[in-house]
Chains A and B, each alone.
Chain A
Amino acid sequence: METKRETKKRTQVEEYDRGIYDIKNEFKYKSKTEKGLTEDIVRQISKEKNEPDWMLDIRLKSVSKFYELDNPTWAPDLSDVNIDDITTYIRPDADLVEDWNEVPEDIKNTFDLLGIPEAEREKNLSGVGAQYDSEVVYHNIQQELLDQGVIYTDFDTAVKEYPEIVQEYFMKCIPNSDHKYAALHYAVWSGGSFVYVPKGVKVDVPLQSYFRLNAPGAGQFEHTLIVVDEGAYCHFIEGCSAPKYNVVNVHAGAVELFVKEGATLRYSTIENWSRNMYNLNTKRCIVEKDGAIEWVSGSFGSKVSCLYPMSILKGENARSEFTGITFAGKDQYLDTGTKVVHAAPNTSSTVNSKSISKDGGVAIYRGLVKVAKNAAGSKSTVSCESLMLDQESRSDTIPVIDIANQDVDLGHEAKIGRIDDDVIFYLMSRGISEAEAKSMVVRGFAEPIAKELPLEYAVEMNNLINLELEGTIG
């Protein structure tokens, strides 16, 4: 009996159980827009939110921009993303509250199973935002942070309560002309987080926002804006997931980060969208003098991903670190990477990117290191490693290194290969099964990323890796 079940598990590669991530709640909502993207739909969203005119104006201009721009020619095939089939706004049947007990039960259960309230309770997080479909349903921040002047709210509230600061920064990092899905984002954005950390304040315990898309055929377009003022520190964690449907879902969020002089921001993401999701997120950070941005990124989900966190090192001595892992399984096309622009003297960057592909999955590393003419004394190191677990998959690396200043020290290396047979043989000779041995090697491969995450998220990442490897034909 046991053997039969085991065998079935090993060969069942097409559809595996993603457990809690695939829980589907009944599709209930207070209001939603019609499918598609028109000026009327955008006006309806703006009216729902009771927004100021300047925000509606940006939305309307972005609608035109979306229809002007084409899909990129270099990217994965996005022809299945038909905006006329997507519902861009769904207000869940829940209001924004600060107490988990006031969140409707089915929504609360989902977040319970994802471990969010528990993490907050045990003081592993100093603030939490939880978004369900198009709106934030829960937001809370520890009092001691509030007392220090830290602002952490949902973005809709920020637009109303902090308009000066939002107007100063909104769309200044990622313009709506950046690409077609940035334009889409600015037309229909909803939800997301706003964080402001005042000068000198160190937020040692992470803040987290979790985005859950429950509705089929919908999109999530959250906007995250973080400003870390001079000398401050913040660690922000973003989590996202959705259950799988047979229709296309789209994620076209935007993350705009501003790191001021001498400040440091760590931005960690574990992305586990479902296999019908097109993840077309845009993340960008502008770093001022002596500032630092640390990206930690784990991409496991979605059908198609185009994700390239970008750092613009605008001030002297600014620094960027990127650590990321991408795991492309069956029917996944994950095109990820990072871009760094050295736009000031003595800036430095490191990129450590790993990718794994199996069962016909496609993992692409797409990168850029650009050193501008005025960026004398810049240093950059890039390391990309790709692991292929079988010969059905694909793994490509296309980095671009563009240097316009002689006074630079830059090194780039990339490797592609498979799990060493000698290593598997050795582990099996120690009594470990072949499947577990491969699992260990893959977890070891992902270890540099796991150790950058807080423990609970490293555990989640390892669980995701195990989930991906279940059913791998040995």
Chain B
Amino acid sequence: MIANTLPLLTWRWLKVNDALIELPEVSEQVTEIIAKENDEVSTLFDFNKIENSYDSRHMTIKVKAEKNSIVNLYYVSRCIEENSALTDIHVDVEENATVNFVQIESGAKRTVTNYFANLNGKGAATNVDAVYFAGGENNLDIFYHVKHIGEETVSNILVNGALKDSARKTFKGTIDFKRGSKGSKGSEEEFATLLDEDVRSIAVPVLLCVEDDVEGLHAASAGKIDQDKLFYIMSRGLNLEQAKKMLVETQLFPTINKLPDKELVEEVWKNIEYRI
């Protein structure tokens, strides 16, 4: 099935317009999170073991943040035995409300996670802090579509990740300024560290804009571990493996550390560190 489609299509031969996923007949789990006016709500989703005999899941999370509220959504997908995982997150943010989304992807063999955010009210904001680690032959798709609809809305997307073995990652992040979103600011950054020769990293950072009084920027970079930093750390007595782990930790840990449970933070990091 088609799991997501780019809001603006590009050349078909690049095969990035659609993301496909094969899902067995699992029932879709739907969760709704509503934060009333002035409330603060935090929710953690931690997928660390197989829940059903299909080894796959299809999940929808609907978030509504009413005026002046804050929603902290923590999403951890770390079950490496899972086959396919499709997660759709739909977020509506009203006036002066904020949705903070912390996302850790280090799980299923085939993962597609879609995050659709509508910044409806004036001053609405969303901050996305994501980390991914894919190894083996994992195939990871991360898709964001943030629509700036109200005035003075803000979005910040920061994605850090590392790829190992023959893993493949496709990051598609869209910041979409609609007419009327005066004074809005949107930024998106993605940094990919490529640990092995056979990895494949695809990034499609999209900026759509029909409103002039906005600031939009995106940045994407990819490369292997900084050789100078690696050399420096090894010159201090660490071996190559230890040095690599330290540098990947520097990149990924700050986001993992935002999880609300310190034990969970340790578990998540140890799981990734073991696989580096």
Q: Chain A residues in contact with chain B, CB under 8 A?
A: 72-74, 364, 366, 368, 386, 388-391, 393-418
Contact = CB atoms under 8 A, between A and B. Distances in A.
A382 to B, nearest CB: 9
8 contacts: A72-B12, A389-B212, A398-B206, A409-B223, A410-B223, A412-B205, A416-B215, A417-B215
B16 interface: yes
Interface of B: 6, 8-12, 14, 16-17, 177, 179, 182, 192, 194-197, 199-224
Given A395-B209, A401-B201, A413-B219, 17 more contacts: A74-B12, A386-B207, A391-B179, A391-B211, A402-B201, A403-B194, A404-B199, A408-B222, A408-B223, A412-B203, A412-B205, A413-B217, A413-B218, A415-B215, A415-B216, A416-B207, A416-B214
Identify whether the interface residues of A are mostly helix, strand, loop, or mixed.
Answer: strand
A416 B216 contact: yes
Given A391-B179, A403-B222, A410-B222, A397 B212 contact: no
Contacts of B221: 410-412
A388 B214 CA distance: 10
A364 B210 CA distance: 12
Contacts of A391: 179, 182, 210-213
A414 B223 contact: no
Contact of A406 (B11, B196, B218): B196
B202 A390 contact: no
Contacts of B206: 396-398
- Interface centre among B8, B212, B217, B222, by most chain A C-beta atoms within 10 angstroms, is B212
A401 B219 CA distance: 11
A418 B212 contact: yes
A364 B8 CA distance: 10
Contact of B217 (A393, A409, A415): A415
Contact of B14 (A368, A394, A404): A368
A402 B219 contact: no
Nearest to B8: A398
Nearest to B208: A396
A384 B208 CA distance: 13
Given A408-B223, A413-B218, A418-B212, A401 B203 contact: yes
Contacts of A72: 11-12
Contacts of B8: 74, 364, 396, 398
Contacts of B201: 401-403
Contacts of A414: 205, 207, 216-219
Contacts of A408: 194, 222-224
Contacts of A399: 204-205
Contact of B12 (A73, A396, A402): A73
Contact of A400 (B182, B202, B211, B223): B202
Contacts of B17: 74
Nearest to B170: A402
Q: Which 5 pairs of residues, A with B, have the shortest CB-CB distance? A: A74-B9, A388-B212, A406-B194, A416-B216, A418-B212
Contacts of A73: 9, 12
Contacts of B208: 396
A397 B223 contact: no
A402 B15 CA distance: 11
Contacts of B14: 368, 400, 402
B202 A401 contact: yes
Contacts of B205: 397, 399, 412, 414
Contacts of B6: 398
B189 to A, nearest CB: 9
Nearest to B185: A417
A396 B223 CA distance: 26
A407 B224 contact: yes
A220 to B, nearest CB: 25
Nearest to B202: A402
A72 B214 CA distance: 31
B217 A416 contact: yes
A211 to B, nearest CB: 26
- Interface centre among B6, B179, B209, B210, by most chain A C-beta atoms within 10 angstroms, is B209
Contacts of B218: 397, 412-414
B152 to A, nearest CB: 15
A406 B168 CA distance: 12
Contacts of B194: 403, 405-406, 408
A331 B14 CA distance: 29
A316 B18 CA distance: 33
A400 B179 contact: no
A364 B205 CA distance: 14
A74 B209 contact: no
- Interface centre among B11, B199, B214, B215, by most chain A C-beta atoms within 10 angstroms, is B11
Contacts of A389: 212
